Chain A
Amino acid sequence: MKSAVNSKSRRKSRSSTPGDLVLRSLSFFYVFLLIVLPLIAISSRAFSGGLEGLWRNIVSPQALYSLKLTFIVALVMVVVNVVTGTATAWVLVRYDFPLKNLMNALIDLPFAIPTVVTGIMLVALYGPNGLIGGLFGRHGIEIMYAKPGIVLALLYVSFPFVVRTVQPVMIELDKDMEEAARTLGARPLVIFRRVVLPSLTPAILTGAALSFSRAIGEFGSIAIVSGNIPYKTQVASVYIYGELESYNPQGALGMSMVLLICSFLILILLNRLQVWNRRHEHAD
């Protein structure tokens, strides 16, 4: 009996059974149809007109402006999100206050809410007729249909990323080192910067990369809050949609390829960060 077990498992690890092959073929088919083929289709179309034509589409003034705006609003959002996200995780992990559990549960709300609904909600509150937006409007400050609105929408949709990547690492943190630093007379901010922050860095960077990736592709909420004004509030994804709407797929191709390449690069970066994270854990 025992040898039967051994030979069976050995056989299994050596060659694939017909069942394995069926599963593998189905997996290949699904990945090929839904991911690989669409990627090939768009790349071959993009390069069919030659590199020159593609390049001309990317460096057209309107495209360049929207690309620049996309990166700027994404970076501003990431900076704010890293600070507020880390602070939120810190407060949730270390302090106690009324309704903490409810707040912790609601952190994921932006992931559950459709992005169009996010846009609508922000307009309802921060728009010219909204409660807060009206207040700002009277002082001549526009939030919606302007750049601050785009940043606000991005902050909303990517709020959970930093909190949710930093929180678990913070829970696992060893408090002994902080205690040691404190008895040696270090001030709280120094302790945070020199003792806590280094252990959190990989997680914070992962959250930042996820937020950034989400931000450069985000469409639904921005389509609502930005007003889509070329040379003012038009971001890359909305630019692509505009080109498609005006039956100019050629114009959409260049920008799509730029965004796709960014997605690839961010995936590779996230993969590296994961490896770093794991090494960090083992070092502790």
Chain B
Amino acid sequence: MQTEILLKTRGARSMGRMLLTACVIGWFLLLILFPVFGVVKEAFQGGIGAFVSNLKEASAVRSFLLTFWITLGTVVLNTVFGTILAVTLAKQRFRGKLIMEGLVDLPFAVSPVVAGFMFILLFGPNGWIGSWFEAGGIKIVYAFPGMLLATLFVTFPFVAREIIPVLKEFGLQQEEAAYVLGASRWQTFWKVTLPSIKWGLVYGITLTTARSIGEFGAVLVVSGSIINRTQTATLFIHQEFTDFNYSGAFSAAVVLALISFGILVFMQKVYGGKRRS
């Protein structure tokens, strides 16, 4: 009798398990994966030839190139300054440090459209800094520098946030040991600090890359989305979509989705390395 009840509840429990697992997998497929297949199917509706010729269009090629340059600039600048920022916040004590830590997180919470708007107000032709550059004949907003600044803003926290915890855990001892043994600050950084933050840094750079390639709202607002001039890949997709040129939009979207998929695979590898160390 007792065992019968026990068996029954166990049977009910495994039924419940299967049901819950099925629901979760079903939801995941419906929400996350099927749309990916949906867009791939649409992009290849006219065959591979149509897909390739959509991507060979001059404005498409230019937009992907611009995305590449903005991403490169963003990664370089935010890696250098993000590392400096992380070292400062993790190793130094000064007044206003808490406020600064809070400010570093802010870009994650700000809407990209608002971010772009802020940069127009500051660097636009009538802005405090923008008017100054305008007098020197340099355009920031509606041009490459503005797009770079907006992307720098939205990806600002990634590198610093990834390496601050590592730096804090790592502590001062090993660095001081190296320093006392006669290593210069620079040598200490290259030979002692950098190896310890390596994985965090790579992870932060990967996140920065993914976000730079995918940024839309902030760049749209500061760029004016001028075809062939200030149009990145995401802006190109948006333009094609609003012009009802769906096959062009779907084709370019598939390429970007493929790139993000590659980044995701790389991230998983790095995450494995980060956890091991």
Interface residues of A (CB under 8 A from B): 4-5, 8-9, 12, 16, 19-20, 23-24, 26-28, 30-31, 34-39, 41-42, 45, 84, 87-88, 90-91, 95, 97, 103, 105-106, 108-118, 120-126, 130-132, 152, 155-156, 159, 188, 213, 216-220, 223-224, 236-238, 240-241, 244, 249, 252, 256, 259-260, 263-264, 266-267, 271
CB distance from A244 to the nearest CB of B (A): 6
Q: Are B260 and A117 in contact (CB under 8 A)?
A: yes
* Measured CA separation A264–B102 after assembly (Å): 9
Question: Min CB distance, A148 to chain B, in Å?
Answer: 13
Q: Are B267 and A23 within 8 A (Cβ)?
A: no
Q: CA separation between A68 and B13, bound complex, in Å? A: 42
Known: A112-B260, A240-B117. A220 touches B25 (CB 8 A): no
C-alpha spacing A100/B212, complex, angstroms: 30
A117 with B257: in contact, given A42-B117, A241-B221 (CB under 8 Å)?
A: yes
Q: Are B39 and A121 in contact (CB under 8 A)?
A: yes
- Residues of chain A within 8 A of B16, CB atoms compared: 188
Given the interface pairs A42-B118, A117-B257, A217-B110, the reply to whether A108 lies near B267 with Cβ below 8 Å is: yes
Cross-chain contact B100 with A90 (CB below 8 angstroms): no
Is the CB–CB distance between B113 and A237 below 8 Å?
yes
In the complex, what's the smallest C-beta–C-beta distance from B47 to chain A, in angstroms? 17
Which of A36, A42, A218, A263 interacts with B121 by CB under 8 Å?
A42
Would B109 and A105 count as touching, CB distance under 8 A?
no
Point out the residues of chain B lying under 8 angstroms from A106, CB to CB.
Answer: 28, 32-33, 264
The reply to whether B264 and A105 contact each other, CB–CB distance below 8 Å, is yes
Residue B195 at the chain A interface, CB threshold 8 Å: no
How far apart are the CA atoms of A124 and B27 in the complex, in Å? Answer: 18
Residues of B within 8 Å of A267, CB to CB, are 102, 105-106, 109
- The answer to whether A130 touches B38 (Cβ under 8 A) is yes
Write out the residue numbers on chain A whose beta carbons fall within 8 Å of the beta carbon of B102. 267, 271
B70 at the A interface (CB under 8 A): no
B152 at the interface (CB under 8 A from A): yes
A-B pairs with the 8 shortest C-beta distances?
A: A114-B214, A217-B111, A125-B38, A38-B118, A263-B109, A219-B217, A121-B35, A220-B216
Q: 6 A–B contact pairs at CB < 8 A? A: A9-B176, A42-B117, A88-B28, A114-B216, A120-B237, A121-B39
Q: Are B103 and A31 in contact (CB under 8 A)?
A: yes
Residues of A near B41 (CB, < 8 A) are: 124, 131
Contact surface of B with A, Cβ cutoff 8 Å? 13, 16-17, 20-21, 23-25, 27-28, 31-39, 41-42, 81, 84-85, 87-89, 91-92, 94, 100, 102-115, 117-122, 127-129, 149, 152-153, 156, 172, 176, 179-180, 185, 210, 213-217, 220-221, 234, 237-238, 241, 249-250, 253, 256-257, 260-261, 263-265, 267-268
In-complex Cβ contact of B114 among A30, A260, A271 (8 A): A260
Most B Cβ at <10 Å: residue of A9, A27, A111, A252 = A27
Q: A26-B81, A121-B35, A121-B36 are known contacts. Are A113 and B214 too (CB-CB below 8 A)?
A: yes
Tell me whether A266 and B104 are in contact (CB under 8 A): no
What B residues does A152 contact at CB under 8 A? 31
Q: How far is the CA of A103 from the CA of B27 in the complex (A)?
A: 12
Q: How far is the CB of A251 from chain B (nearest CB, A)?
A: 11
* The residue from A31, A159, A241 contacting B113, defined by CB atoms under 8 A apart: A241
Nearest residue, chain A, Cβ from B177: A5
Q: Is the CB of B20 within 8 A of A87?
A: yes
